[in-house]
Structure 1
Amino acid sequence: MGFFRHLTEDDFELSTVCHRPEGLDKLQEQTKFTKKELQVLYRGFKNECPSGVVNEETFKLIYSQFFPQGDSSMYAHFLFEAFDTNKNGSVSFEDFVMGLSIILRGSINDRLNWAFNLYDLNKDGCITKEEMLDIMKSIYDMMGKYTYPTMQEDAPREHVENFFQKMDRNNDGVVTIEEFIESCQKDENIMQSMQLFDNVI
């Protein structure tokens, strides 16, 4: 789980309530994390972001450390936009944990909604081929040329074509949330790749 991979079991044991956000109890109700997990997440968050909020540059910096072999800046930008739900240019601990809870513990439906929101770059309620291509390119860039040396330049475009063939039921060139969720739930590969989120988040 990228951001907090360096936390060990001991951290869970040692986790103390030295500094906790005001709404920890409220967050526990709103998320699928235990109080102890929230404390550990908070400590990790404060460690990386002492100010208590992350701006896009910090987000990019964190991602560049986890994916040194590629260029993660574009993917980090898209991910930041998805976490910044109130569009104020910063992600608070609360924003972060709410998103993380959906990605890691949410129902399949919750996860698919979150994924759709990530892919829908201009947040207009549908995914275009251009948006999907931008996301795919950013993921390929992040993974780096060395990780997949055999990968062809046109791989992202092929990925997008396949995606649209499956998803765009009425062939109108865009994928709506309904088409997205329905297609994903019918597709075993996509269901399995929902686990992929746990690796890149």
Structure 2
Amino acid sequence: MEPDITDFPTRQLRAKPVRLDELCRDTKFTKREIRIMYRGFKQDCPDGIVQEETFKEIYAKFFPYGNSSSYAHYVFKAFDVNSNGEIGFKDLLVSLSTLLRGSVYDRLSWIFKLYDVNGDGCITKRELHDIIASVYDIVGRDTSPLEERRIRDHSEKIFARLDRQGTGVVTVDQFVEACLKDDVISSSLRVYSSGFEHVC
């Protein structure tokens, strides 16, 4: 006897379908690449939406020896274009396209968005510290006062290089300019944004 259709769990697709041509136009991915990514996305997110907790679980698979929860939270917020607590496939694809295939300016602007934790258009020393601390968490940092001091010192050095006017905040233009001119910052930012490459 064949199972009745009512025996299967029903899931309502919550994401609005997007045409493949539209995704190609809005990203720098080919139709083939989009299809491959979509299969993986649907496997982990059959409803067509990623909630933050699911995103953290997926992210944790790539960093099993540390605590990736804080960093995943910041990345999730940056991917959550509509600030509604959900990431749809198009949101994910547009961000990945920017990070993997965007211009240097586009990539740095996206990273700025990640570091601008409260979304006010400026990065503060505290926001930079929180992001850097979350990266240390990913690699399994210890919580000793010495380690905390090292993180604070590292954050302050980077912030001083970004905040060349000494205003206590860094705008997107200042961020991009400083990153393009400073090899140390560029190198540090590559380390802190490399977590994306594992997810992609």
Shared fold, TM over 0.5:
yes
**Partner residue of 2:135 out of 136, 139, 146:** 139
Note the alpha carbon deviations across 1:115-162, whole angstroms, 9 max, x for none: 00000011111000111111111111011138xxxx933222122111
Post-superposition shift, 1:22?
3.2
Indicate the SS of the match to 2:194.
helix
Q: Does 1:111 align with 2:107?
A: yes
Please give the secondary structure, in 2, of the residue aligned with 1:64.
helix
Structure 1 gaps, min length 5:
1-20
Normalized against structure 1, the TM-score is what?
Answer: 0.83
Contact 2:125 2:155 in 1 (8 A): yes
Of 190-199 and 99-108, more deviation after overlay is shown by 190-199
Specify the alignment match of 2:176 in structure 1.
Answer: 181
Q: How many aligned residue pairs are there?
A: 178
| 1:121 alignment partner, SS class | coil
Deviation per residue, 1:37-91 (Å, 9 max, x gap):
0010101111111111100000010111111101111111111000001111100
Normalised TM-score (structure 2): 0.83
Please tell me whether residue 122 in structure 1 is matched to residue 121 in structure 2: no
Task: Give the letter for the 2:130 counterpart.
Answer: D
- CA separation in 2, counterparts of 1:132 and 1:191? 15
How far, CA to CA, are the matches of 2:36 and 2:192 in structure 1? Answer: 21
Q: Which runs of 5+ in 2 are unaligned?
A: 1-16
Residue 39 (structure 1) aligns with:
35
| CA-CA distance at 1:191 after TM superposition | 3.5
Do the aligned partners of 2:132 and 2:192 also contact (CA within 8 Å) in 1? no
Which structure has the higher relative contact order (CA within 8 Å, separation 6+)?
1
Q: Which runs of 4+ in 1 moved over 6 A?
A: none
Q: Does the Cα contact within 8 Å between 1:103 and 1:197 map onto a contact in 2?
A: no
Distance 2:138 2:181 in 1: 29
Match in the other structure for 1:160 = 155
Aligned to 2:72: 76
- Distance of aligned partners of 1:199 and 1:77 in 2 relative to their CA distance in 1, 3 Å threshold: same
Cα offset, 1:195, TM superposition: 4.5
Contact 1:121–1:131, Cα closer than 8 Å, also in 2: yes
Aligned-residue CA RMSD (Å) = 1.9
Answer whether contact 1:104 1:198 (CA < 8 A) is retained: no
1:141 is matched by which residue type in structure 2?
Answer: D
> Paired residue for 1:61, among 57, 65, 68?
57
Shift of 1:177: 1.0
Greater shift, 89-98 or 171-180, is seen at 171-180
Q: Does the 8 A contact of 2:161 with 2:185 survive in 1?
A: no
Change in Cα spacing, 1:187 to 1:79, as seen in structure 2 (3 Å) is same
- Taking the aligned partners of 2:98 and 2:68, their CA distance within structure 1 comes to 22
Question: How far apart in 2 are the matches of 1:152 and 1:193?
Answer: 18
Q: Between Structure 1 and Structure 2, whose CA radius of gyration is higher?
A: 2
